[in-house]
Amino acid sequence: MSLLAVENLAFAYPGGANVVNGVTATAERREVIAIAGPNGAGKSTLLDLIAGQKQPGGGVCRVQGRDTHTMERAELCRLVAHVPQSIPVDIPFTVEEVVLTGRIPYGRGLYENSDDYAAMELAITRARLEPFRTRRFSTLSGGEKQRVLVAAALCQQAPILLLDEPGAHLDPKNEAQLWELLGSLRDDGQLVLVVTHHLALAAQNADRVWLLEQGRLVADGPPCDAMRPADLERVFHVPFHWHQNTEGRVFLTYGR
């Protein structure tokens, strides 16, 4: 039984063509999967479908063998944590309080219990938020807010984590640390799907890449297979190049 399986998944907004078009893929084990593609390729919509935020127009998404749209919302959220691309700006809570929202799917009464607080502490530590824990969310920078939302998803303790461009507001240091975190989550047993435009970082850090073009999955495999320069140039309309330095490290660049 696959941890995650999407079968011929399709979605269209009213009056428009499919933005996700017959995507079929499976994840049998815990790994970091980077989802790449140009703007409008359907990356965010695919995550929304997996998270149960949108109803597919065709096909099915299964988590641990179960159709996500036959599951109660709280049950699905105990299995799949989702951090969308947009960052809310008007949350009147502290960092600790926002992180604790990740425990909502486990609600057992009016108040949090010791398990909830333990999950919050672990998430704050892993997201390196100790200096900000009592700050109001609204006072944080964009990158800091993004880290808080990732921590809230970690607090869900779901086996599948979906992240939509989590590095968009991060500086190089924090983005490098984000990818280190994703690798450690994988090592601890989570399946991580991350939408990213930072293809060089995906090439270095992802176990696998799903490459989307006009809503279709056109490549699926380890970076060296799914990110062949000719395929990337066809999809993104700019030249790509693999390089190897004197230490044997392989990396990806683009442009002439």
Residue 90's pLDDT is what? 79
Residue 16's pLDDT is what? 85
**How much of the chain exceeds pLDDT 90, in percent?**
81
Span 72-97, average pLDDT: 91
Binned at pLDDT 50, 70 and 90, residue 3 comes out as: very high
Binned at pLDDT 50, 70 and 90, residue 256 comes out as: confident
Q: Are the CB atoms for 33 and 193 separated by under 8 Å?
A: yes
The 18-27 sheet, strands edge to edge = 18-27, 4-12, 58-63, 66-67
Q: Whole-prediction pTM value?
A: 0.94
Span 77-104, average pLDDT: 92
Angstrom distance (rounded) from CA 192 to CA 31: 6
Helix H or strand E segment including 217: strand 216-221
Kindly tell me if the per-residue pLDDT of 141 is higher than 80: yes
Per-residue model confidence as pLDDT tens digits over 162-215: 999 998 888 999 899 999 999 999 999 999 999 999 999 999 999 999 999 999
| CA atoms within a 13 Å half-sphere pointing along the CA-CB vector of 165 | 16
Residue 2's pLDDT is what? 86
> Per the structure block, which two tokens stand in for 58?
């065709």
CATH 3.40.50.300, the chain: domain bounds: 4-79+158-254
Query: Mean pLDDT lowest for which of 22-26, 94-98, 107-111?
Result: 107-111
**Adjacent-strand bridge partners of 241:** 253
Kindly tell me if the per-residue pLDDT of 246 is higher than 70: yes
Amino acid identity of residue 155, one-letter, is C
Domain range 4-79+158-254, its CATH number among 3.40.50.2000, 3.90.660.10, 3.40.50.300, 3.40.50.150: 3.40.50.300
Binned at pLDDT 50, 70 and 90, residue 111 comes out as: confident
Kindly give the residue spans of alpha helices, DSSP state H, lying in the chain: 43-50, 73-77, 95-100, 114-126, 142-155, 172-187, 199-205, 223-226, 229-236
Residue 109's pLDDT is what? 64
Residue 91's pLDDT is what? 85
Q: Are the CB atoms for 163 and 152 separated by under 8 Å?
A: no
Kindly tell me if the per-residue pLDDT of 63 is higher than 90: yes
Kindly tell me if the per-residue pLDDT of 110 is higher than 80: no
| pLDDT mean across residues, the chain | 93
Check residue 85 and report its DSSP letter: S
Span 123-139, average pLDDT: 95
| Sign of the CA dihedral with 86 first, then 92, 98, and 104 last | negative
Angle between helices 172-187 and 142-155 (to 10 degrees): 10
The 216-221 sheet, strands edge to edge = 80-83, 160-164, 191-195, 32-36, 208-213, 216-221
Angstrom distance (rounded) from CA 78 to CA 75: 5
Span 102-124, average pLDDT: 89
Residue 133's pLDDT is what? 95
